[in-house]
Structure 1
Amino acid sequence: MKALLKFRPLFANRAKGLLLALALSLVTLAAGVALLGTSGWFITAAALTTLGVSFNLFVPSSLVRGFSFIRILARYGEKLVGHDATLRLLADIRGWLFGRLFPRIPLADRSLRHGDLVSRLTADVDALDTAFLVAIGPIAAAVVVGTVMTAVLAWLIPGAALVYGLCFALAALAVPALLVVSSRRAGTEVVQRAAATRMAVLDGIDGHADLVAFGILGTTQADFADKAGALAAARGRLASYATAASGSVQLLSGLALVSVLWAGLLAFDAGAIDGPVMIGLLLAVLGSFEATGAIVRSVAKLSTAMAAAERLSEVAEAPIAIADPARPMALPEDGAIAFADVTFCYGGNAPVLRDIDLAIAPGQRLAITGPSGSGKSSLLKLLLRLADPQSGRVTLGGVPLTALRQADLHAHIALLSQDSPVFNDSIRNNLLIGRADADDVALWAALDAAQIGAFVRSLPRGLDTVLGEMGRTVSTGQSRRLCLARTLVSNAPVLLLDEPTNGLDRAAELAFFETLKTATAGRTVVLVTHAEIPEGTVDAVVELRNGAVVR
């Protein structure tokens, strides 16, 4: 519950919508109770009326219709306002979560798998919508209606008020609370099993080709079936708790109804209450317990919401792997880059870089080559300060990167990697990722420098052309040039290129290197590549082997 309370400020931001939904829920429930009570009184009174006595049918029939319409409209309004507020709340939670997550990338906890992170960012966030829609709101509305109904019974049938109030309190508060406590472990298990199942699905999709090639697809399918079976069993246990709670509520409802009937008959015999009024109260009592049944049917989801909140809080409060200095230094004007006796490893494993000494002058084009696993990409990661070396230091203009604000550093250094994505958006918005305030002149200049401006101009919508998922509407070479243009838009004086020609044929590769030579004029370029580099593309080449510079 503590983890769920951490999201209270976000709930408070949507308080107006949530309170309006609560009010409409209360109106819906009250109208339903009034509809049943009025109908019972009306039918009984009409049946007991003799033919010789006139009976006003208009007023009670109007009340029945009025309460019916009020209930329908309030229910619609409750769903509309409640779901709107909840969806906006989920958007706020996602914004808050991503805001907390960005400074923590790369995550310090490297045991968190990709599939588990995806599960937390999607399913766990969605689970929080139950906190209001199916728990807090209905409970609050039920308490109000139960209190009012107890007061009405205390006025008309005093002998029934105490038993009804006790039964209603147990059904609306005690049983749901006991359900939450007893199902807490089952709810946590459901969330964990669901996350494991999603990870199995993602792993199976990502590695399908390898699983087929190595002939272990059957083993993977069996593992997935085991995880799915465990999830089903956990959900079954959670459902059993909810079923027991629903049975308890029905028992309490029956007890309350019998007590009101017994006390009502005694009051009727004593002439303290009319028969139609007693019947109306009986049906109103029955209608009031409708809220408690809805609570129990859905409050079981609150245990999964609490488990989801704990998982989200765990990510949001993870230690920041790379932190800004308390008193950052100004970004130096001299952009010389230097690695001085740098050694780096991941998580205490064997070093991937050893005693690296490397100097890159402003405006120099440097290519870093070497076999896979030699530490080339790790070198770029240190330069972007996505990680810090275990020993030695990396400096920019003589200032250690650890003394600079990361935002300043990332504005100074731009990256084009082999995995740089083209997003399912317009060309304009893809380019603006590089610099949000760039105007069309700057965008066209970057496109022309990347030698793709003519292609974009030939498109019917130009910069407003939507590229499709992963840029499927353009070729691989064009996609890579668009990513280069986005990097150039940034105006960063230092460009890091990590295998930018990966996946291109030799002709497209040579064309890209030719473009690179002209497009990056005046900027410092660090190019990591396996490709054969055409003469004149770079000023110097450094080879890495086994994490060390080959001299």
Structure 2
Amino acid sequence: MTALLSFWPLFRRQIGRLGLTLLLSVLTLAAGVALLWVSGWFLTAAALTTAGVSFNLFGPSSLIRGLSLVRILSRYGEKLIGHDATLRLLSTLRSWLFGRLFPRVPLAGRDLRHGDLVSRLTADVDTLDTVFLTAFGPLLTAALIGAGMAAGLFMLLPAAGPIYAATLILALIGVPALLLWLSRRIGAELVEASAALRILTLDRIDGHADLVAFGAMAESDRDFEAATRRLARARRGLGRAGTLAALAVQALAGMALIGTLWCGITALRHGEIDGPLLVGLLLAVLASFEATAMLVRSVGKFGAAATAAQRVRAIAQMRPAITDPKRPVALKQGDLAFNQVTFGFDPARPVLRELSLNLLSGERVAITGESGSGKSTLLALALRLHDPQVGSIEIGSTDIRTVSQADLHAHVALLSQNAPVFLGTLRDNLLIGRAEANDAELWSALEAARIADFVRALPDGLDAFVGEAGRTLSAGQARRLCLARVLLSPAAVLVFDEPTAGLDRETELDFLGDLAAATRGRSVILATHAQIPPGAVDKVYELADGRLSSRPSMRG
């Protein structure tokens, strides 16, 4: 519960809308209680009167119609404002979480699988953003309606007041507390089982071809069925606990009704109350317990919400792998140097060993080597996505650990093999490289990346919609668009991580052949498996056993 309460500052931003939702919820239930009260009184009084012609039918019937209208309008307003507040809260939660997650990326070395991360960013956040509507709101509504009904009984039928209050307290506190105690473990199991099933689902989708090729589908099916059964058991357990709690609330409602009837009959015999009022009170007592029934359905959500809060807070509180120095120094232009760098995700098994490299300003070098040799790791170190265990990396004789990450990333830009094309227009994608770039600068970058002619041929030009993941572009066009985005960056050092992966040989040669002209005046590190065409780079190094060795470059 502590984890759940830690999100209060985020909920407080929507306190106005949530408070109005609560008010409308109370008004809806109060109108329902009053409606039954008046209806019971009206029908009984009309039946008992001996002067039907003189009985006022219009006043009570108008009141019934008015209460019905109030109930309809308040229910509509509650749903409208409540869901608006929930959607706003969802946006706040996601912004808060992503804002804390970005400084913690990459999550290398953390015990957090991709599927589990997806589950926390989606299902767990969704559980949190609805917790007011499904848990806190019904609890407060039931308490307010119950308190109002108890006050009415104490005034109109004092003998029934203690009975109603006792049953109400048990329904509002006793039963939910027991259900919360029972559902906390089940709710936690439900969240964990749901997350496990999502992880398996993502693994089966991503690895389907390999599972089929290696004949592992049967074992995967068994794991999937086991995860499904685990989730089903958790849901059944939560359902059983909720059913028993609902049964207990209905029993308490029956006790309150019988107690009120018993006291009411006694009061009726003594002339302290009349028949129509007694019937109205009985129906109102039943209606007031509707709120407690809603509460029982909601309390089961607390266990899942508490677990979801713990899981979301856990990734938000991860210690960032890389942090800015307390007093960052200014980064100056200059050579990029790796000085006796040793690094490994497992320090006992370093990927790079005493590696040294000096990249002069404006120089272009290629790093070749087998998969897993550490090429991508070397580039990640240049971007300070990790820090070396031994040695240092300097730009202009300044250790990059002493500068701010924002300053470093303005100086070093990356084009990776998985560089994404984002949903939106070509202009939207380009402006990620430099938000203040004008059209002339956009076209200049497109020209340098040799994709300007293609863009000009599109009906909407820069405002052409590229679709999700750039599906309207060929692989080569998508890669050149990403290159243009990188070229828009003011970075003096450009690092390319397998930029031609997945391209056919002709497209690959064209891309690499254009790289020298496109990056003229900037320092370049190109990590690639590809055969490098003449003139693309100034030097070629091979990375093996964690160290670099020079290879002859092919100049044009």
Q: 1:205 to 1:52 in 2, by over 3 A?
A: closer
Matches within 5 A, 1:216-365: 216-333=216-333, 335-365=334-364
Which residue number corresponds to residue 408 of structure 1? 407
Does the alignment pair 1:157 with 2:169?
Answer: no
Which residue number corresponds to residue 196 of structure 1? 196
Question: 3-state DSSP class of the match of 2:422?
Answer: coil
Shift of 1:52: 5.6
Output the TM-score relative to the length of structure 2: 0.97
CA–CA separation in structure 1 for the residues paired with 2:155 and 2:192: 51
Which residue number corresponds to residue 388 of structure 2? 389
Which residue number corresponds to residue 34 of structure 1? 34
Opposite residue 337 of structure 1, the aligned amino acid is L
Question: 3-state DSSP class of the match of 1:183?
Answer: helix
1:67-125, CA deviations, whole angstroms, 9 ceiling, x for partnerless residues? 11110110010011001101110110000000011111122652210000000000000
1:519-538, CA deviations, whole angstroms, 9 ceiling, x for partnerless residues? 11101111011111111111
128-137 or 146-155: which moved more? 128-137
Output the TM-score relative to the length of structure 1: 0.98
Shift of 1:514: 2.2
Opposite residue 95 of structure 2, the aligned amino acid is G
Shift of 1:453: 1.0
Instruction: Note if contact 1:108-1:318 (Cα within 8 Å) is conserved in structure 2.
Output: no
Which residue number corresponds to residue 168 of structure 2? 168
Gaps of 5+ in 2: 551-556
CA–CA separation in structure 1 for the residues paired with 2:501 and 2:108: 29
Does the alignment pair 1:531 with 2:501?
Answer: no
CA–CA separation in structure 2 for the residues paired with 1:80 and 1:17: 10
CA–CA separation in structure 1 for the residues paired with 2:326 and 2:484: 35
Shift of 1:193: 0.7
CA–CA separation in structure 2 for the residues paired with 1:52 and 1:253: 34
Runs in 1 of length 4+ with deviation above 4 angstroms? none
CA–CA separation in structure 2 for the residues paired with 1:107 and 1:415: 19
Which residue number corresponds to residue 69 of structure 2? 69
CA–CA separation in structure 1 for the residues paired with 2:339 and 2:10: 46
Shift of 1:173: 2.4
Question: 3-state DSSP class of the match of 2:215?
Answer: coil
Which residue number corresponds to residue 476 of structure 2? 477
Opposite residue 495 of structure 1, the aligned amino acid is L
Opposite residue 313 of structure 2, the aligned amino acid is S
Instruction: Note if contact 1:108-1:319 (Cα within 8 Å) is conserved in structure 2.
Output: no
Question: 3-state DSSP class of the match of 1:550?
Answer: strand
Which residue number corresponds to residue 508 of structure 1? 507
Which residue number corresponds to residue 433 of structure 1? 432
Instruction: Note if contact 1:109-1:318 (Cα within 8 Å) is conserved in structure 2.
Output: no
Shift of 1:136: 1.2
Which residue number corresponds to residue 496 of structure 1? 495
Does the alignment pair 1:448 with 2:454?
Answer: no
CA–CA separation in structure 2 for the residues paired with 1:95 and 1:451: 36
CA–CA separation in structure 2 for the residues paired with 1:178 and 1:453: 67
Opposite residue 361 of structure 1, the aligned amino acid is L
RMSD: 1.1
Q: 1:52 to 1:254 in 2, by over 3 A?
A: closer
CA–CA separation in structure 2 for the residues paired with 1:348 and 1:87: 44
Instruction: Note if contact 2:342-2:353 (Cα within 8 Å) is conserved in structure 1.
Output: yes
Question: 3-state DSSP class of the match of 2:347?
Answer: coil
1:463-519, CA deviations, whole angstroms, 9 ceiling, x for partnerless residues? 111111211111000000000011011121110001111111121111111221111
- Provide the identity percentage: 58
Question: 3-state DSSP class of the match of 1:106?
Answer: coil
Instruction: Note if contact 2:138-2:298 (Cα within 8 Å) is conserved in structure 1.
Output: no
Which residue number corresponds to residue 553 of structure 2? none
Count of residue pairs the alignment pairs up: 550
1:285-336, CA deviations, whole angstroms, 9 ceiling, x for partnerless residues? 1000000001101220111011000000100001111111111111113x21
CA–CA separation in structure 1 for the residues paired with 2:379 and 2:144: 62
CA–CA separation in structure 2 for the residues paired with 1:109 and 1:252: 53
Which residue number corresponds to residue 460 of structure 1? 459
